Structure formats: structure tokens, C-alpha cells
Amino acid sequence: MAQRSTAADISYTWTIGLIAALAILILVGPVLIVLATSFTTSATLKFPPPDLSLRWYRELFDTARSAQIHRAAGNSLWVAGLATGIGAILSVLAALSIARINRPSARALEASFLSPLVLPTLAYGLATLMFFSFLGLRPSLNLLIAGHLVVIAPFVFRTTLASLTQLDPVLLECSASLGASRFYAFRRITLPLIAPGIAAGAFLAFISSMDNVPVSLFLSNARTDMLPIRLWGMMESTLDVRIAAVAGVLIAATLVLMIAMDRLTGLTRRISG
């Protein structure tokens, strides 16, 4: 009986290990291929690279040759930064309001705030284009910010609301009994405790905005070109190796941001603790 149990345990461990290894290979494999391709000496995108070089990174950071990529990257950073900042403020206010309501209507409000997460982004992008066209508004960075805001704000709202549900109400009751105002209690107690949740949601929202294709596709034009749309166009026309170099820069920047966020908020320490 013990041998059967041991054999079953070993079989289970090997099966789970193989599935996990396959999942990691599927997730990490394309990233490693793109990184390797970005260091190629070839003039086109192909794998494996014949030799390694930093040629395409030098081309990418050349302000004259890659001016269009730089402009698109600047537009994406501007839209993602403002949309994330505005979305964080609105989402925190909404989460604070809903967290204090114990009626069933609060659950309906929560579902309505989270509904953009289940809405097909392609359909939403087309709907926003039709809506803004009906209002007579032309594509601009402000419209892109508004369009991205609806899609990314639920990330901050969800993580903030989750942090608020774990907040002990006794802390706020004690501060009120000691004469602290609501704003003072929020600034000294609530905000520091939910800050990791806000930071995690803002990080997800920023990355989602930078990587958003459907909304940017419908709301951008030649003057408001966004980085994903610019890379898409380059892939369709020339298969420029700078596409892989841009991907390498984005991967490195995302990794640095993840490490910085973890250091600032201590999410790993909180989860393991």
C-alpha cells in the first residue's frame, strides 16, 4: 500500500512538473527568441541569428533614423501616464465609496466599474470611435487618454477595493474615538495601508495602456501615432529588426519596473508572510 502511494506521489509530481515546465517554456520561449533576434546582425527578422551585434539598438536610439518610433513611444508614454494617473485617482475614490456601502447596490456598482474588463476591447474601440465621431471630435491624444482610461481604470479599482476589504475597521474607529478627522485618518491610516494595492493596480494599468492595440488603432491617426500601432505597421511593411530591439527595451523596462514596485511596496514579502 505504501509503495502504491509512493508511486502515485512520484507520478503526480512528475506530471505536475512537466506541465509546469511546458507552461514556462510557452510563456518564456517567445520572449527569449525575441531577445536573441534583437541582437542579430541580419537585416531582417529571422531566428536563429547568424551572429550577435548591438547594431539594431544603435539604430533604435538614433534620433534621425528612428524619429517616428521615438515620437510614437513618447505619445504612448504620455497617454499611459496620464490615463493611469487619472484612473488611479478616480478608482481610489470609487473604491472608498463602495467599500463603505453594505447594501446589494454596492455589488451592482462594483460590477459596473469592472465591466470594461470583460468587454471585448475591439468592440469597445469601434464604439468609442463611433461615439466621438458622432460628437464631431477628431482623433487626438486627449481622446486616446479618455479611451484608455475606461479600459485600465478597473485594474486600479479592483486592487484598491481588495486592499480596503482587508483593512481592519477597528483602526478607523479608534482614530475617530481619539478625535481624528476622516481626512486625517485616511492620510495617516487608510492610504499607507492600501498604497501597495494602488501601486500594483497602477502598474498593471500602465502596462495595459502601453500595450493596448484595439483602442489605439481606432482613436489614433498619423499625428497621434502610438508605439504598438507603429510596430504593427513596421511588421507588415518591412520586418525591420528594430521591432525586436524595441521589444527588448520594453522587456527590460518592464522587468526593472516590476523589481522597483516590489521593493517599494513589499508585495512579495506580504504574500510570503
In tens, the pLDDT along 141-170 reads 888 999 999 999 999 999 888 888 887 777
Shared domain for 16 and 68, answered yes or no, is no
Residue 270 has a pLDDT of 57
Considering the domain boundaries, does residue 48 fall inside one? no
222-261 residue pLDDT tens: 788 888 888 888 887 777 888 888 988 988 888 888 888 7
Same domain flag for 215 and 101: yes
pLDDT recorded at residue 267: 60
Arithmetic mean of pLDDT, 44-50: 80
The pLDDT of residue 2 is above 60: no
Question: According to DSSP H, which parts of the chain are helical?
Answer: 2-38, 55-60, 67-99, 104-114, 121-134, 141-165, 169-177, 182-185, 191-210, 214-219, 227-237, 242-265, 267-272
Residue whose C-alpha is closest to residue 178's, from 167, 189, 192: 189
Judge whether 232 lies within some domain. yes
Average pLDDT of the chain, as a whole number? 83
The contacts of residue 126 (CB under 8 Å, 6+ apart) are 218
pLDDT for position 79: 93
Q: Average the pLDDT over each of 87-91, 155-159, 182-186, 224-228 and give the range with the smallest value.
A: 182-186
User: What is the model's pLDDT at position 89?
Assistant: 93
Same domain, 29 and 151: no
Q: Where residue 158 sits, what CATH number does that domain have?
A: 1.10.3720.10
Q: Does 30 share its domain with 70? A: no
Query: Does some domain include residue 46?
Result: no
238 and 157 both lie in a single domain:
yes
* Whether residue 122 has pLDDT greater than 90: no
Residues 23 and 67 in one domain: no
pLDDT of residue 193: 83
Tally of domains within the chain: 2
In this structure, are 4 and 103 located in the same domain?
no
Full domain range(s) for residue 24:
1-35
Is residue 25 included in any domain, yes or no? yes
100 plus 17 within the same structural domain: no
Shared domain for 6 and 137, answered yes or no, is no
Do 150 and 17 belong together in one domain?
A: no
Q: pTM of whole model > 0.75?
A: yes
Residue 232 confidence (pLDDT):
85
What are the angstrom distances between the C-alpha of 243 and each of 7, 203, 207, 258? 49, 23, 18, 22
Both 143 and 27 in a single domain? no
Tell whether 25 and 69 lie within a shared domain.
Answer: no
